[in-house]
Structure 1
Amino acid sequence: MKATQASLDRLSAIVHEADYLMRYERGTFQSGWCLLEQKRIIVLNKFLDTEGRVNTLLELIPQLPINVDKLTHESQKLYEEVKKEAAHKA
């Protein structure tokens, strides 16, 4: 998947449709995700460029517990592609 704004938007849609809140914060930390007080929050370093954000989401999405039924058809297809690609890398 190419690291474009359109790709970032499509990956972000999966995250939002799965009821996660995505925040961009500054700091010296590894991008990642966490559950904070029973809330699903993904925190990304705000200084990452588009490629860094796309790569981080490609790495994180397969690890997230996502109810596929909540996703739109387009997001479901992309989610399956991302999971398949992650399985090939493992």
Structure 2
Amino acid sequence: MAVKYTKSYLDKLENLFASSEYILRYEKGNFKSGYCILKDNKIVIINKYYTLEGKVNTLVDIIKELGFKPNEFTDKKNQDFLGELQQTVLKL
């Protein structure tokens, strides 16, 4: 599956976080990597000034880093999307 840099694709990624135990927030800040993960509080903060492409790439990286598993989600759409996403390789 190829990564699409559209608003609807970003919405699907955000829905994964909404269905998980992590809270996704967009905040301003000088993050060196563009994001900050507070694992103890289960909060993910993304630089709100990132472009759409930057936000999508960052969320895909974070999802892979956090190790989301399709069986952790109750919604079939989220399970299928995450399954496809896990087969995706970002080429920067």
> Normalised by the shorter chain, which TM-score bucket?
0.7 to 0.9
* Aligned residue identity for 1:49: T
1:75 aligns with 2:78: yes
| Percent identity over paired residues | 30
Q: Give unpaired runs (5+ residues) of structure 1.
A: none
Residues 41-85 of structure 1 show CA distances to partners (whole Å, capped at 9, x for unaligned) of 111001012111111111111111435334211111111111111
> Number of residue pairs matched?
87
Q: Give unpaired runs (5+ residues) of structure 2.
A: none
TM-score (ref. length: structure 1): 0.81
SS of residue matched to 1:85: coil
Tell me the CA shift for residue 31 of structure 1: 2.2
Alignment map for 1:17-56 (pairs within 5 Å): 17-29=19-31, 30-35=33-38, 38-56=40-58
TM-score (ref. length: structure 2): 0.80
Question: As a proportion of its length, which structure holds more helix?
Answer: 1
